[in-house]
């Protein structure tokens, strides 16, 4: 008696070597045989042979592939084989339970995305300033990103974003853990949301960062306290000089009028 089935695997990107899937045939807790398939296709166990009548209980299951983004088929096929002697010394086997002609399993490769967004608040010069972000994640390989900038990104690499800019990294395996950190800038404070997390299948996680320029002056005021004080002193000195000049002029006119 030969047992087997077909592995279906959908969504795996072209040009990448797919993972190996393993299937176990067990009698009780004992592993009788195992079979493997890389990606998709048929699998077969070694033929079952019997040398004595009896009832034998089996299960067939898939082992988790352990590949990021790959779903696990949790189905367990159970069946029994009853072996009888037909009276002439010939053993005959009959099955009951699962349809053992097709012990099939289905897996999918699922992905999600990560969006990184930057907002800057402060003086008008902030419109041209870009900030450095380091992106790390626990998935191997490089992944394309698009948005305000485009390219490919591997874990641990940097990307620069300015006010109102964003990028979206596509095709990350579902379940990928990520962390986005911004390089410190002494002129800005920073607040973030979603800087760490996990990518969910069919969804786009978002890490948003808001920077605020420190010591932003009021509208129309000098940008430095020292300059402001200097301007006030100069203004006062100028006013005093003008007043003294006016007083001198009045004295001169009065002197000429009295001569």
| pLDDT tens-place string over residues 93-111 | 887 766 666 799 999 999 9
Tokens of 110: 């699922």
C-alpha 103/C-alpha 89 separation (Å) is: 31
Average pLDDT, the chain: 84
What pLDDT is attached to residue 68?
87
Can you give the residue range of the structural domain that contains 99? 4-108
User: What CATH number does residue 19 fall under?
Assistant: 2.60.40.3050
Q: How many domains does the chain have?
A: 2
CA dist list (Å): 167 to 173, 183, 234, 245: 18, 17, 50, 65
Same structural domain, 122 and 49: no
Query: Is the residue at 221 inside a domain?
Result: no
The label of the residue with tokens 């853990």 reads 177
Residue at a domain's end among 65, 82, 108? 108
CB atoms within 10 A of CB 184: 10
Count of residues making up the chain? 259
Same structural domain, 66 and 115: no
Same structural domain, 73 and 168: no
Name the band, by pLDDT with cuts 50, 70 and 90, for residue 224: very low
CA atoms within 13 Å, Cβ hemisphere of 170:
7
| pLDDT tens-place string over residues 44-67 | 999 888 889 999 999 999 998 878
What pLDDT is attached to residue 24?
96
C-alpha 171/C-alpha 236 separation (Å) is: 66
b/e map of 106-127 (b: 16 or more CB within 10 Å)? ebebbbbbbbbbbbbebeeebe
Residue 120 in this model has a pLDDT that exceeds 70: yes
| pLDDT tens-place string over residues 78-96 | 988 899 988 888 888 887 7
Mean pLDDT of 157-163: 95
Mean pLDDT of 202-226: 74
CA 147, 151, 153, 156 dihedral sign is negative
């Amino acid at each position: 008696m030969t047992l087997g089935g077909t592995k279906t695997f959908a969504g795996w990107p072209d040009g990448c070597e797919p993972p190996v899937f393993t299937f176990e045939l067990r009698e009780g807790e004992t592993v009788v045989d195992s079979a493997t398939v890389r990606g998709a296709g048929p699998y077969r166990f070694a033929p079952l042979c019997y040398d004595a009548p009896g009832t034998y209980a089996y299960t067939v299951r898939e082992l988790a592939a352990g590949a990021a983004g790959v779903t696990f088929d949790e189905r367990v096929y159970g069946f029994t084989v009853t072996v009888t002697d037909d009276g002439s010394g010939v053993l005959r086997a009959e099955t009951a339970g699962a349809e053992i002609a097709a012990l099939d399993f289905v897996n999918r490769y699922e992905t999600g995305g990560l969006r990184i967004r930057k907002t800057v608040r402060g003086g008008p010069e902030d419109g041209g300033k870009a900030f450095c972000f380091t992106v790390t994640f626990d998935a191997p390989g490089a992944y394309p990103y698009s948005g305000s900038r485009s390219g490919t990104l591997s874990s641990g690499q940097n990307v620069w974003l300015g006010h109102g800019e964003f990028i979206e990294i596509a095709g990350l395996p579902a379940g990928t853990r990520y962390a986005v950190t911004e390089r410190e800038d002494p002129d800005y404070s920073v607040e973030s949301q979603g800087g760490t997390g996990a990518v969910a299948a069919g969804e786009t996680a978002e890490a948003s960062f808001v920077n605020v320029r420190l010591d932003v002056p009021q509208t129309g005021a000098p940008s430095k306290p020292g300059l402001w004080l200097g301007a006030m002193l100069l203004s006062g000195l100028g006013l005093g000089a003008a007043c003294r000049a006016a007083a001198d002029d009045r004295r001169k006119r009065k002197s000429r009028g009295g001569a």
